Amino acid sequence: MPDPPPLPSSLTPPAPRKDARAITRHLDRLARAESAPWLHQEVARRMAQRLAVIRQAPQRWLDWWGFLGGGGESVRAVWPDAIRLVAEPTPALRARSAAPAGAGWWSQAKARLRGRAGGAQVLALSEVQDGSAQMVWANMMLHAVPDETATLARWHRVLAGDGFVMFSSLGPDTLRGLREVYADLGAPPPHPPFTDMHDLGDMLVQAGFADPVMDQETIQLHWSSPEAVLAELRSLGGHIGLDRFTGLRTPRWRARLLAALARRRGADGRITLGFELVYGHAFKALPKPDRHGQTVIPLQSVRESLGLTAARRPKPDSA
């Protein structure tokens, strides 16, 4: 199928200014956590409830950034017989995903050697074959990739002809209160901009997806202290923007930040910040008839549908 035409310049969102090296550093730190962040697990649970609209369960589904997404059990509860593949962006996350928390050292060692997690095969992103899954599941990771457009295009390639994608991401209203705190302190924003759901819908169409459905909701989280706020945010990642403050913050800066957060306590004494959650769902567009009424189906699509896809050489890692 030919590539879709480019989006009009008025619909093309600005390229995100994210630092790939910073992303890798934060991912490797999060790989040492006992489990996926609580917020990610909660969003995975909510997203799994939306699987009820899918009439045909996938035979194979791809869990993109599976460990930090925390959605393996939520999807398995809906489709226990579907084969799960896990695609991880760094060696540290591949090792962590292949050795689940709570396993003994011998079981962890065997899982790492076999590249499997709970019966699921764990792959590097470069090892994921085109047309290898009927669903891409990507929970709470799209906002953390260097290039969202490239990631959507990659998802389109790895899906079979009847495949679909389900993902969640952070929207632009996320941490508005924290941005206000930083602005009051004369500091740049604490994170790069998050992409609006309408722009993500346009990007899905540009990547070749059909019938995109976008939705959003806001979760309010509450903490008892400024220290608890910072600890929770650190468990979600860190500042990956190219425009971040590049030096080391001083203890005096931290004290000012904690004091500014403390001033945001509500009547109940707790600090509240909002997270805008964006959900997306779209199908891989099927080939369309040409002007003579004929439908051209690429040979590769036929091979995929018959399960005859040959092994391919690994591609360079990409988000």
Cβ neighbors of 166 (< 8 A, separation 6 or more) are 47, 50, 51, 135, 136, 137, 138, 279, 280, 281
Provide the angle, in degrees to the nearest 10, between the axes of the packed helices 148-158 and 197-206. Answer: 50
pLDDT at 307 over 60: no
Confidence of residue 43 (pLDDT cuts 50, 70, 90): very high
pLDDT at 264 over 80: yes
The lowest-confidence range among 34-43, 107-116, 173-182 is 107-116
Which of residues 95 and 297 earns the better pLDDT score? Answer: 95
223-249 burial code (b ≥16 CB/10 A, e <16): beebeebbeebebbbbbbbeebeeeee
Take residue 48 and report the two structure tokens written for it.
């799994």
* pLDDT tens, residue by residue, 150-193: 999 999 999 999 899 999 999 999 999 999 999 999 999 999 99
pLDDT at 101 over 60: no
pLDDT at 88 over 80: yes
Q: What pLDDT score was predicted for residue 292?
A: 54
Which of residues 242 and 271 earns the better pLDDT score? Answer: 271
Q: What pLDDT score was predicted for residue 11?
A: 46
Distance CA 149, CA 12 (A): 10
pLDDT at 24 over 50: yes
Q: What pLDDT score was predicted for residue 92?
A: 97
Q: What pLDDT score was predicted for residue 106?
A: 41
pLDDT at 199 over 60: yes
| DSSP state string for 217-284 | EEEEEEESSHHHHHHHHHHH----BTTS--SPPPHHHHHHHHHHHHTT--TTS-EEEEEEEEEEEEEE
Statement: the pTM of the whole predicted model exceeds 0.75: yes
Question: Would you say 63 and 71 are in contact if contact means Cβ atoms under 8 Å apart?
Answer: yes
pLDDT at 16 over 90: no
Which of residues 309 and 83 earns the better pLDDT score? Answer: 83
Question: Which domains does the chain carry?
Answer: 9-172+195-219+278-305 (3.40.50.150)
For residue 130, give the amino acid letter: D
Distance CA 123, CA 90 (A): 10
Confidence of residue 299 (pLDDT cuts 50, 70, 90): very low
Q: What pLDDT score was predicted for residue 303?
A: 47
Average the pLDDT over 180-208 and give the result: 95
> Considering the chain, what percentage of its residues have pLDDT values greater than 90?
71
User: Rg for the chain (alpha carbons), in Å?
Assistant: 21
Distance CA 42, CA 73 (A): 12
Please give the mean pLDDT across all residues of the chain: 85
Nearest-10 Cα torsion for 40, 42, 45, 47: -60
pLDDT at 247 over 60: yes
The lowest-confidence range among 165-169, 234-238, 281-285, 295-299 is 295-299
Q: What pLDDT score was predicted for residue 109?
A: 46
Average the pLDDT over 115-141 and give the result: 88
Question: Would you say 36 and 65 are in contact if contact means Cβ atoms under 8 Å apart?
Answer: no
Q: What pLDDT score was predicted for residue 302?
A: 43
pLDDT at 317 over 80: no
3-state secondary structure at position 138: strand
pLDDT at 222 over 80: yes
Q: What pLDDT score was predicted for residue 316?
A: 43
Residue 4 CB: number of other CB atoms within 10 A? 13
Distance CA 49, CA 56 (A): 15
pLDDT at 127 over 70: yes
Q: What pLDDT score was predicted for residue 103?
A: 46
> Considering the chain, what percentage of its residues have pLDDT values greater than 70?
78
Total count of residues recorded for the chain:
319
Q: What pLDDT score was predicted for residue 310?
A: 39
